[in-house]
Structure 1
Amino acid sequence: MNGSGLARRDKWARFVPAGYSGLLAAVIAGPLLGPGYLLLRDAVSTPRSYLTDSALGLGDAAPRAVPQDAMLATLSPIVDGGLIVKTILLVALWAAGYGAAVLAKELLRVSTGPQLVAVTVALWNPYVAERLLQGHWSLLTGYAALPWTALAAYRIRIGGHGADAVARGGAVGSWGALAGCFAAAGLTPTGALLAGSSAVVLVGRRNVLGALVLLSAASGPWLAAAALSGAGTVPSDPTGIAAFAARAEPALGTLGALAGLGGIWNADSVPDSRTTPLALIASALLLALVAVGIRSTAGKINSAPSAGDTERAAVRVRRGLLVLAACAVVLPALGATSWGMSGMEWLVAHVSGAGLLRDTQKYVALAMPAYALCAAAGCRAVAARFAAKESASSPMPGTTLTATVFIALLVLPLFDLAWGVGGALRPVHYPVGWQRVADRIDGRGDIAVLPGGMFRKFPYSGKVAVLDPAPRMLPRDVLQTGELPVRGRTVAGEGVRAREVESTLLHGDSAQRLGELGVGWVLVERTTPGPLGESKTTLAQLDSVYADPDLALYRVPGATDHVKESQSTHRMIAYAAHLLWAAVLVGGLLVAAISRPRPTR
């Protein structure tokens, strides 16, 4: 094949991993391509949401959904909120797979076949399945940012050194890419911690300070909200440690489940295949494919003068990813032991903000980039061993076949990840009454909701309990206790006023008492089970505003807003923090795109 033919083939080969990643993302989230809204466990998307204090993270509860709620509240008046959420989820899945391929290409110099193996490892695994079933769509943006964060850290390390095209592109674009990764991952606080910990380990000592400054700017919304609302200074309920500890899977134990990228605390958020011996087979195959490539991934640091800075930086970044992977598996496993849980309980009870660490299985995401690299390196090593000969101008004979076998071994044992994890991930359609209720809320006061609790089982939402959509559907703050029923126990939340309001309703207290607590509206969701107590006594004292078979809305006479004197100042600070986050996201991605290095011929 002549030079021009090779150039054309290489040009098209660059698009294969991107296309394959898009195909897998579509196969996984296929049901969401249709009309409707994502409503599954913790995932709540709505046609329109509102920029309330809770959306800014200034409510009673800890700011766990900041800045995602404010972003949706800002964009949903322009673009349907359900479409925004589905788009972000699909793009995140695509970016996770394609990022793994680009990382493998740049750090290992592998051909297309091993890159496709890296895509498969990044997308077709129990972590993605379990977090989809749990409804953690925004956490998956942090997951997707991990390979791109590693790539940006590597390019920052080589900076202006080296002779290749990436080095000649300079450090500006790499810093912009890192900023964009931090902001995209920072859609949730956990995502920011994932990307930030990766960067600190990989970026090199002289660049750590710059990375921390960018991370702080990208984390501004939830840091500001935690400080302003006071929720960040309240210790979390230690009961949550045992409730959210990583869970053992059949024949694997806790360590084996985590090493296989599984082990989520909620046994109901697990694909059916992971409750059978297939869990052992899938984990064994994944770890075997990873083990084949560990040695090649770790590599040797060449100290010879002829070795370039680029080569040494690649080895250091690969080794850093391996260390992150080991920590991401071992530490959550230790956290699930009796003494590990005791230590974590002390931590969350005495250290503000430590509640972010209670769901330790979330951090298994940090193992994904290393697993993808090892599987890609293993594919290349196996192909090299069995190839009859190697050509300098084309991929090794047998690489395509080896990659196909690797992909099949990864996909088949977790077959039910396809099509919305066996159809569980499907769009729903809200009754029209929700919009009518939202239109009628035009006065003072926050909103209390009945039945008590935060989770619902509507006829249109499926068999599993889902988060109440009211806080995102309605234009005033909806009071929620933050209490979570987990594994037969209740983990206390931070909503002190919400608990008092709920108790007032369930005990049938006076409407005057509701008004004193700053409640102006009461919404009754009629088609979901839950405690109602003696609330009829209180509702009889309220003004009926709207009623249909699904919903009933009441106005509390004489209600006043429950507003602190400093609330206006707090909102301005929160707005500024969100604007800074948006600037880091958009500006970082623009700088990265403009400064993208172009390879020379």
Structure 2
Amino acid sequence: MPRKQVVSQRPRSWPANTFLIAWAVLLLGVLIATLWGPGILAGRDMLVLDHPALNNAALGLTELPGRATPQDGVLAIIGKLLPASWAIRALLISSAAGAISAGFLLARRQQANLFATALAMLVACWAPAITERIAQGQWSLVVAAWLLPLLVWAGLTQKTYLQWGLLIPASLSPTGAILAGLIAIAAAKEKRLSTTIIAIMLCTPWAIPGLLAVFLKDSAAINFGTTVVDNAAAVMAFGPHAESPLGIFPTLLSSGGIWNAQLISPGREYGVLAGCLLAAILIWSGLRYLPKGPEWPIFALGILGFAMTLTSWLSPEIYEWAVAEIPGGGLLRDAHKFLLLASPAAVLLATRVRPNWLAVIALSAALGNLWGASAQLQVLKPVHISLPEIPAEINTTETVFLPKANTLITMPEAKIPLVNPWFKMLSAVEPGTLVVDGITIDEPTPRWSAANQAWSEGDISRLGRLGISAVIDPETGSILARPDATQKAHLPRILGYILLAIWASIVPLFILISLKRPRRRHR
């Protein structure tokens, strides 16, 4: 039987290696310089306190969907050992370094030229789809996005244990868990069934409470009613936003188009033009050098992510039906985030750009596509904010009510809206109201509405029946009332602890089982 011919790659010259090292330092240095300094990470959806509480919301046990589960639970545990905001900075930097490394490794696997390698490293780490999520404060989703190319490389090169380990930080948010799970399963060349089981089990901290809330919705012991959601308004509000007079399609091709128009810098239309040029080069290179067998699922997922985002704009009625009828469809509302599924495919295409002069043009276009990114990164700059003082007699696990407290507030120190610190420091009944461009997407939760009505009427006993044991003034931090809570939380805290333990232990458990299992001998 003839031996398989091994194609050896000619080693790069020292100037080429020096250039790539300097390029990697530059790409990562931008992030490090932004994150460096005293303070905490606070802005829009992001509020990473040094010592957050392990409250009911962190465990995904409130009436609201567990959008910050398990990340808030992990932050609370880390915060008992060291400042959580510094731990997250380390995670962000290491994830970005992983993305840059993945671009380099995938390019070396493809025997890419020098500038195609630099292009792959850039596309893996910095793109509008990533910088816009940073500007929105969705740091855990950004961590997942940065790890997607590395998950692909680990799968294609059969580094199974590395791939499983990467799934842990990538699954800190529900969306991150789904995107990373799909990419890991698609890229796995061995132990795909085990990878699938792990990906599913990493969703348990937010999926199980959500399922229980649906199946036990008629039980008064665990449910206080159903929150009114306007799915049609949600699909329109969170649909992709054109960043150029050319329209939605070119914007999506440039990987931009987040729903929040306030995040877009002036002059972004020039970036869209550069992004379209980059996309044209990548697609043309992909057609010239068709992907190999194991890479096809990665490209299929990229097409799926782009199609989902485009569908929310082309056929909002169909997308609204999916959001309303598919279990867990609320995760689909923000359609633009599914463009991140195309990130690994874009990196693979970047490695195929030839010859060198075309790679230089593509690299220049990729840099132009980042128009305004420096302003978007400023959300990651640490800030000092005044945190409320919790009364000494209040336990962070007991349910409290904060009259007139909004989920999002604006503080002079942060200059942009951010999550109310009270809801990260206590187990408080959250309003859950969501207003976008003056349109109410989510009405207040029934429990908060009932508590607000009871407080305005002075009905303290009713507050106790709602499971509230303290009423705190969010302005002064003083205790206004101490109801006798007769109603427990809608799901027991022990469930949250168990699900968090499953999330943290499933990967080490599978690695241990795999190591102890005897390998099959091949003849």
The two structures have a TM-score, normalised by structure 2, of 0.85
Question: Residue 117 in 1 paired to residue 119 in 2?
Answer: yes
Aligned to 1:534: none
Q: Classify the secondary structure of the residue corresponding to 2:41.
A: strand
Report whether the alignment pairs 1:469 with 2:421.
yes
Q: What is aligned with 2:372?
A: 416
Alignment of 1:43 with 2:43, yes or no, is no
Calculate percent identity across the aligned residue pairs: 25
Change (3 A) 1:17 1:490: farther
Deviation at 1:298, TM superposition (A): 1.8
Answering whether residue 411 of structure 2 is matched by residue 458 of structure 1, we say: yes
1:293 has 2:285 as partner: yes
* Distance in 1 of aligned mates of 2:206 and 2:234: 21
Pick closer, same or farther for the CA change 1:347–1:444 going to 2, 3 Å: closer
Counterpart code for 2:424: R
Partner of 1:336: 313
User: Displacement of 1:22 after TM fit?
Assistant: 4.7
**How many Å separate the matches in 2 of 1:70 and 1:491?**
27
Partner of 1:496: 446
Equivalent residue number for residue 167 of structure 2: 182
Contact conserved, 1:329 with 1:367, CA < 8 A, in 2?
yes
Residues of 1 paired with 2:300 and 2:470: CA distance? 52
- C-alpha contact 1:224 1:574 (8 A) present in aligned 2: no
Pairwise CA RMSD of aligned residues?
3.3
- When Rg is computed on C-alpha atoms for both structures, the one with the higher figure is 1
State the match for 1:427 in structure 2: 382
Change (3 A) 1:15 1:481: farther
Which residue of the partner structure matches residue 382 of structure 1?
A: 355
Letter in 2 for 1:484: L
Question: Is 2:270 the counterpart of 1:270?
Answer: no
Question: What is the identity, as a one-letter code, of the residue corresponding to 2:408?
Answer: F
Equivalent residue pairs, number: 498
* 8 Å contact from structure 1 (residues 293, 376) kept in 2: no
Q: Which residues of 2 match residues 101-250 of structure 1 at below 5 A?
A: 101-106=104-109, 108-156=110-158, 174-203=159-188, 208-230=192-214, 237-238=230-231, 239-250=233-244
Q: Is the 8 A contact 1:226 1:232 kept in 2?
A: no
Render the CA deviation track for 1:231-262: whole Å, top value 9, x for unaligned: 99779641322221112221232222111111
Which residue of structure 2 lines up, in the alignment, with residue 520 of structure 1? 469
Deviation at 1:229, TM superposition (A): 4.6
CA distance in 2, matches of 1:17, 1:504: 64
1:557 paired with 2:500, answer: no
- One-letter amino acid of the structure 1 residue matched with residue 116 of structure 2: P
Q: Distance in 2 between matches of 1:231 and 1:492?
A: 21
SS at match of 2:118: helix
- Offset at residue 423 of structure 1 (A): 3.3
Q: Which letter does structure 2 place at the counterpart of 1:430?
A: I
Tell me, in whole angstroms, the C-alpha distance in 1 between the residues paired with 2:308 and 2:467.
Answer: 44
Paired residue for 2:296? 319
SS in structure 1 at match of 2:341: helix
How much has 1:591 moved relative to structure 2? 11
Q: Deviations over 1:457-511 (max 9, x none)?
A: 112121x22221212123xx11112221113211116833123223444x45444
Which residue of the partner structure matches residue 353 of structure 1? 328
**AA of the residue aligned to 2:355:** V
Instruction: Give the whole-Å Cα distance in 1 for the aligned partners of 2:383 and 2:514.
Output: 37
SS at structure 1 position matched to 2:139: coil
Pick from 26, 31, 39 the counterpart of residue 29 of structure 2.
26
- Comparing 144-153 with 61-70, which one deviates more in the overlay? 144-153
Q: Distance in 2 between matches of 1:213 and 1:225?
A: 19
Q: How far apart, CA to CA, are the structure 1 residues paired with 2:138 and 2:28?
A: 16
Q: How does 1:5-84 map to 2 (within 5 A)?
A: 20-28=23-31, 30-84=33-87
Q: Deviations over 1:274-324 (max 9, x none)?
A: 2xx31332222321331342134424xxxxxxxxxxxxxxx1233332222
Range 185-194 or range 350-359, more displaced: 350-359
Distance of 1:298 and 1:135 partners within structure 2: 37
Would the alpha carbon gap of residues 591 and 268 (structure 1) be closer, same or farther in structure 2, given more than 3 Å must change? farther
8 Å contact kept, 1:66–1:188: yes
Please name the residue that 1:168 is paired with.
none
Distance change (3 Å), C-alpha of 1:332 and 1:413: closer
Check whether the contact 1:522–1:556 (CA below 8 A) recurs between aligned residues: yes
Matched residue, 2:274: 282
Say if 1:112 and 1:127 are closer, same or farther in 2 by CA, change over 3 A. Answer: same
SS of residue matched to 2:63: coil
CA contact under 8 A between 1:183 and 1:584: conserved in structure 2?
Answer: no
**1:28–1:421 contact (8 Å) kept in structure 2:** no
User: Does the 8 Å contact 1:332/1:360 carry over to 2?
Assistant: yes
**Structure 1 contact 514–556 (Cα < 8 Å) conserved:** no
Q: 1:447 to 1:15 in 2, by over 3 A?
A: farther
Residue 37 of structure 1: CA displacement? 1.0
Q: Distance in 2 between matches of 1:332 and 1:9?
A: 40
Aligned-partner Cα distance in 1 for 2:444–2:165? 31
**Secondary structure, in 3 states, of the residue corresponding to 2:99?**
helix
1:268 CA drift (Å): 1.2
Q: 1:515 to 1:571 in 2, by over 3 A?
A: closer
Cα contact 1:182–1:192 (8 A) shared by 2: yes
- One-letter code of the match for 2:261? A
The change in CA–CA distance for 1:104 and 1:585 in structure 2 (over 3 A counts) is farther
CA–CA separation in structure 2 for the residues paired with 1:562 and 1:271: 49
Q: Supply the distance in 2 between the matched residues of 1:585 and 1:69 (Cα, whole angstroms).
A: 20
